[in-house]
Structure 1
Amino acid sequence: MQFKLQHTDPGSKARAAEMITDHGSIKTPIFMPVGTVASVKGVHQRELREEIDPDIILGNTYHLYLRPKPEILQQAGGLHAFMGWDRNILTDSGGYQVYSLSGNRKIREEGVKFKSHIDGSTHMFTPERVMEIQRIIGADIIMAFDECTPYPCDYKYAERSMHMTHRWLERCITHLEKTPLLYDYSQTFFPIVQGSTYKDLRKQSAEYIAGVGAEGNAIGGLSVGEPAEEMYGMTEVVCDILPEDKPRYLMGVGTPINLLENIALGIDMFDCVMPTRNGRNGMLFTAEGTINIKNKKWENDFSAIDEHGPTFVDKEYSKAYLRHLFVANEYLGKQIATIHNLGFYLWLVREARNHILAGDFTPWKAKMVKQMDKRL
C-alpha cells in the first residue's frame, strides 16, 4: 500500500492524503460504510457504488467467520468476489464484537473463547486464527486482534489489557509472515493502539505501535461510552505520536461532529454503524442539523428530504412521504434513510478534504459543527 500525504490544514492537524492499494485509490479523510456480514444493510451494491460511492467499505471477521464461514468465502474467491465488490475492503479483527459479548466469552492469554450469538456454539479466537481467517476473507486492509476495554475501566485492568494486546500483536505479525496470500492482490496490516482513557497508557501504547513500523495504524477502545471530550483528548495524544507518513484509523467513530473534530486532530479513516442504524430508526443527518423523520411535524411537509443532499433519494422523495413509510413500517423507508445518511457522511468527509486542500478547513469546520448540532 502507498500513502501519499498531499496537504495539511494550516489551522489544525487535518490532512488530505491518498492511499493506493491493488483495489484502487482511497482519498482521505474517508468514512467507511459498515458492511458487517458482506452487506451494507439495506443497500444494493449498485446503489453503494453509484450513489454513496465510497472508496472503501468495512467487513467484520467475527460475523463473517460465523456466517457464511471461511470455507464458503474461500470457495467464492474471497469477500470481494463473494459480494460483488471490486473496490477496497477493510476487515475489523472481531476484537470489538468479542468484547461486546460480555457474559458469553472468556479472555485469557491464549485468546478468547466465546459462544456464538447465533446458535450458542463455542469457538476460540487466537491471534493466529484471526490472521488465518482474514487471509481467507481477503480484505485489502486487515486488523490485529486486540482486546477492546470497556468504559469505565480501572487503570490496572486497562494496563494489563494493553500489554496483552501488544503481546497478541507480536503473535499476529509472526503468524501473518508464515501465512501466504490466497488471492492475486496484497493485504496491508494495521496494529491497534489501546489504553482506555488513561493518557500515560495511550502514550505508551502509541509509542509501542509506532515502533512496529506497520503500513498504517489504528486507534481502538474509544467511542465505547466515554464523553466526547475524553475521546478527543486520547486521539490528540495518540496522533502526536503515530507517524505522520502513515494513515491513522479511528475505529467505530462516530457522529458527523465527531468526524470533523477528529479530522482536525489528524485522523484519516473512520467507520461507524451510526448512519445506517440511526437511519433505520428514522434519524437523518444533514448539514443543517438532525431530523427525526417520525415526528408529526413532517406529516404534511412535501419538501425534498434534503435539497442539498448528494443522492437520488434526497430529491426524489419528500419528508412527508418518508415519514409515512416509517409510520407504516414499510422497509423502503429504512432503505431511503440509510442511503441518505451514508451519502451525507461521504459528502461530509469529501467536503472536509476539499477545505483542507483549500486551506480553510478550520473556519469551515467551526461553521459546520454549529449547524449540525441543531435538532430540526
Structure 2
Amino acid sequence: MNAQPRPFDDFRALIEAMPEADVAAVDAARARQAELTKPVGSLGWLEDIAKWLAGWQRGAPHIDAPLVAVFAGNHGVVAHGVSAYPASVTQAMVANFASGGAAINQICKTFDISLRVFELALERPTGDITCEPALDERACAATMAFGMEALAAGPDVICLGEMGIGNTTAAAAIYNALYGGAPEDWVGRGAGADDAALKRKADAVRAAIALHREHLHDPFEVLRRLGGREIAAIVGAILAARVQRVPVLLDGFVVCAAAAVLAALDERALDHCMAAHVSAESAHAEALRRLGKRPLLDLGMRLGEGSGAALAVGIVKAAVACHNGMATFAEAGVAGKER
C-alpha cells in the first residue's frame, strides 16, 4: 500500500521542482552593461543586482510593484521572560502598522513600496518550545500555505519582514538546531533584553533543543517544533516567490532563520534571494555567512518589520534605473573602449 501523504509533502515536491534563473536573460543584461557609458564593472554590485533581477524576471530588470509583506505572530516561550516586552505589544504594533505610525510605513512611503501586514492568530500563541512543539504538522503546513498568499498581489520584488515578541528566541533555536554550537552563540538582545533576560533566552533555547533533539534532522521538523507562525509563513512566501520567479529581499535575523530552513533542505533554495542588510542582532552576521549571503546594507538596525529590506529597495531601484536608463556609447556618441 502507498504511504499516506504527510502535510509537508507538497512543499518538498515544490523544492524538488524549483525553477532556475534565466541564463539568457542574465547574458543579455551583461551584454547591455558592456555597452553603457561607463567602464565595465564600474558600478560594482549595482550591476550584479541588475543581472540578478534580469535572471529571475526573465527579461529587462524592473521594479515597478515592490511589496513589503510583514507577518506577525505570538510565541508561547514569552512566558519564560525572554523579552523586554509582553506579547500584547505584537497586537499593538500591528495596529500601529495599520494606522501608518511605524518605521516601516515611513520607509515604504519614501520608496513607493506597497505594504501588507498578515496577522497570524495573535490571540493564540504557539506552543512553548521548551516543553512542546510550537506547531503541529498540519498547522505549520497550513501557515506556510497562508504565507504563499503574499505573492497574490503580483509583486515584481518582495521584501519579507516580521513582528512577534519573543521571535528572536525562536529564531535562535532554529539556528542552533541547524548549525550547532551553544545557545549563547545564537541568542541576542532582540528588542532590548537585559543580561538576565539574555540568560533566560539561552536557557530556553537549550531546553528546547534538548526536548526536540531526536526530531531535528528534518528542517521542516525544526521549523514546526522550534519556530512560530510568522516564521512558517515566511518560509511559504520565500518558496512561493521561487515558484513564481519573484526576487526576494530578506530582512533581518528572524526572516533569515526562515530562509535557513529552506537552505537546509536544498542549497539552491535561496538563489532568488538577496540579504538586504546585516542587523545589530549579534548572530545575524554569522547566519548570513552560513547562508552564503553578503548583505547590501550595514546600518546597525535591529527593528524588524521589514525595515532593512525596504531600505534596500532604494538601492535596487537605483540599479534598475542605471541599467535601463543609461545611454550606450553609441547612443551618446561617446567613444567606447578599444577592442
Q: TM-score, normalised by structure 1?
A: 0.31
Q: TM-score, normalised by structure 2?
A: 0.34
Higher relative contact order (CA 8 A, sep 6+): 2
Q: Which structure has greater strand proportion?
A: 1
